[in-house]
Structure 1
Amino acid sequence: MNTVIVPTDLAAKVLFDERRVIGPAAVQRYFLRVQDDATMRATVTLPDSQSQQATVRLYEPNGAPARSAPDDIDIGEQDAGSATITVRAEDMVAGVYELDVVAPPLAATTVTVRAELGPVALAATQQGAGLEASSVGGGGPGGAEGSTATGAVAYRLVGAERSYAIAGRGQPAESLQARAPRWAKRMEVDLEVPADLWDELTDLSVTIYDSTGQQVRGGNEPVNYAFGRMRLALSDSLTGIPLTVEFFPAFARPRGHAWRGTARIRFLGLEAPVGDGKPLAVVAGGRSVIRLPNAPSLDMPEGFGTLIETRVTTPTGSVAVRRTVVAAPSRGAGGVK
């Protein structure tokens, strides 16, 4: 028996499902078609959040938990009455996402679900000094035919990031080193390997060690798909010191072989406005270039660039968001090996 799904094309219309009743232990599944460089925002609300509960999950087109929301989100009763998941443009994977809303085992629940794309798609330009804003679908939220997408552009400095090309030797672990800046509150490590390599692995782990060689609490996770993201809260004792990130593959065949992958280390913890925002208007089918502000001076490890978030907000509150690395001179000490 085959299952046929008919996804909602969010470039053509907004998904809005009001007061959907979900039976005990049942799952209401929504399939959402999206495009590259768009921003998706999905909101699930319990009208009666005082007495009802639900669990929200979002999956990428390949079935992996969404990198923007890897964990289940519980809503209702002692938790918040609604959950909003935003998938930024740099995290968007073109295809069909699956949004699941799960009722508790012994009680039905009623939810209202809304999902939409932002007003424009935001793609990085080849020069890296700006973003190309293009219309989504018909041009506005919900894909209004022939409409012009308008919004206000704002920028925020959110952290620092560096990308690495990994040339693995085979079975031995590969490692990177970076000094966490004093301002950092959180650390993210992305690892992506080719799909054909992933099929040859039985295990792949990411581990973070402090300057004494001790494994950091919460700093060990398996990579369960060809793309994995580790998140780590940084205590004061972990900032200002070198941290080692280790990638350890386990091949199905005993000897393994050389392999390649891409890693990104990201330090977050800043929320500072930068640059001057401007109004934006993109006609249906059109494009416009958004110039990024100059990178501010920032204490960060060698080889890192400042991470600037660009946000386009319409008068109705629809948003398009992308984080971009902007090169800047580093004032901080701390080598990366």
Structure 2
Amino acid sequence: MDYKDYYKALGVEKTATAEQIKKAYRKLARQHHPDVNPNDKSAEQKFKDINEAHEVLSDPEKRKKYDQFGADWQRYQQQPSGAGRGGQPGGGFDWSQYTQGGGGFGQGGQFGEGEDFSDFFSSLFGGMGGGGRRAGGGGTRPGAGADYQAELELSLEEAYHGGPRTITVNGKNLRLNIQPGVADGQTIRLRDQGGPGRNGGPNGSLLITFRITPDARYVRTGDDLTQDVPVSIYKALLGGEQTVETLSGPVKIKLKPETQNGTRLRLRGKGFPVYKHPGQFGDLYLRLTLTLPQHLTPQEKELIQQLAALRPED
């Protein structure tokens, strides 16, 4: 059984942080995903290798065990050929600590067709049991399937309203009912929609991460929204009503006379829905920006000059 370099599979250094590993995995998973490379066996194998590497390096306990194994493997490889290096690792190392049940180093059967993890992973993390087969000859141990990861892009309005969406993963169409108020970067888990279980084990999960596209009208902060509202200089000076478009529909606001540029108004409950709390909403903050008239007529200029004369600058 050959040693697998999971760091090399993801293209990261051994000192990589959890965030760097996650970023590298996402990039490679998108590049080699079977949906992007249909009928490409090499891409399919690469995708499996990437998932296996991420399964180990994203788990602190698995990564710690893998790093320790890698150090011992390197020491073993550096031994002279007469120091117990034959067909199986030796040379005084206790390899049984890396196999389930201590039954030897990667001995015994292979995974069947379509399995997600390699013999190397199985020997290290228990998919094959001690020696690969049980004493009763009942085959390899059951194991959970791999978790799949996918991203779903939503507009701000789609995230606001929620509702049904369809996502395709590994050629399979899945219908989702998105709860209103999902956030950018939020991940949900769909159990039993990941890789197939091994030898009767449970299927893995599908982890879907939401990506909310920026909206030109609103800035979202948690469950609150901020919106710029243009107001004519005349309405700002004299006061009046202003219609504001919100994600829940138009709302009329009253402006006081002599409203200043940059004034902020708060509309309670007109922000974003609170995730999984029906009926609860954040607030909408309006930032009033005064607009100046353009292409003035001679008469308008004359009137403005008269107004300026009545209020000379200090």
Return the structure number with greater strand share.
Answer: 1
TM-score computed with the length of structure 1 as normaliser: 0.20
Return the structure number with greater helix share.
Answer: 2
TM-score computed with the length of structure 2 as normaliser: 0.21
